[in-house]
Amino acid sequence: MFTDSIVLLTGVGAEGQVGEVVALAFADLGASLVLVDRTPDRVQQRAAALARLGHSARGYGCDLSDAAAVSELVVTIRKNHGEKLRALVHMAGGFAMSGPLAESAIEVWNRQIAVNLTTAFLTSRAFLPLLRADGGSIVFFSSQAALPGGSVAEMSAYAAAKTGVATLMRAIAAEEQKNGVRANAIAPAAIRTAANLASMGTSVPYVEREEVAAVVTFLCSRQASGISGTLLPLA
């Protein structure tokens, strides 16, 4: 499905997280992977683990909230992987409770906007030329907090950032239709990751990582060529 195609995945470094399974799913479908994470050692270990399984993967460290760093990353990836991307899956981000708005800290607000929304903006903006060259697709990770009626109390910063991600996706879908680029986002409930299990325990109803990977790979495939501008709930 993705043979001879380059797929860029962000937020893939940590073991036990959703990026681990999404990366393996793309690799099993024949993609050559470009993996990006804030921590260079971690993402290079993830790429090495995939390479040991016989897959093509290379890892790069980058702070995706830093515009200059993202610009440097694009230059490096163009040099090492060429001028085309079949897909960009933006999983980089993070969650933090901000507490009641009246008592919340500006530092938490700024951090949530930076890691969730600014990273999505900078990354998609930077790699759109490569996606246009291959009629590529973007998948963002939003949240159920961005859906009508979603729980947002005491997490206003996170909810606002993830709602912004959904709006960014819709803007890209509308603007890039003429260039053959599609954009969609998923809005999952809590995913069964190592971090979520550690913080919330085993009694919570989770979305399985494999389910997320199946949806993401489908949205990036040619089979989903008519789907763009969609925010897809996963529960």
- Whether 1 maps to a domain, the answer reads no
* Pair 26, 7: CB distance under 8 Å: yes
Domain that holds residue 179: 6-234
Kindly report, residue by residue over 122-160, the tens digit of the pLDDT.
999 999 999 999 999 999 999 999 999 999 999 999 999
Residue with tokens 């206003």: 156
- Whether 69 maps to a domain, the answer reads yes
As to burial, measured by CB atoms within 10 angstroms (0-12 exposed, 13-18 middle, 19+ buried), residue 135 is middle
pLDDT band per the 50, 70, 90 thresholds, residue 13: confident
Q: Which of 77, 158, 185, 207 is catalytic?
A: 158
CATH number of the CATH domain containing 24: 3.40.50.720
Residue 127: name the closest of 1, 2, 10 by CA.
10
**Core vs surface per residue 7-45: b (16+ CB within 10 A) or e:** bbbbbbbbeebbbbbbbbbbbeeebbbbbbbbeeebbbe
Q: What pTM was estimated for this model as a whole?
A: 0.97
Is 60 among the catalytic positions?
A: no
pLDDT band per the 50, 70, 90 thresholds, residue 192: very high
- Whether 192 maps to a domain, the answer reads yes
Q: What does DSSP assign to residue 31?
A: P
Kindly report, residue by residue over 71-113, the tens digit of the pLDDT.
999 999 999 999 999 999 999 999 999 999 999 999 999 999 9
The dihedral of CA 170, 172, 176, 181: what is its sign?
negative
Q: Specify the pLDDT at position 187.
A: 98
Total structural domains within the chain: 1
- Whether 212 maps to a domain, the answer reads yes
The C-alpha atoms of residue 52 and residue 27 are separated, in whole angstroms, by 12
Kindly report, residue by residue over 160-176, the tens digit of the pLDDT.
999 999 999 999 999 99
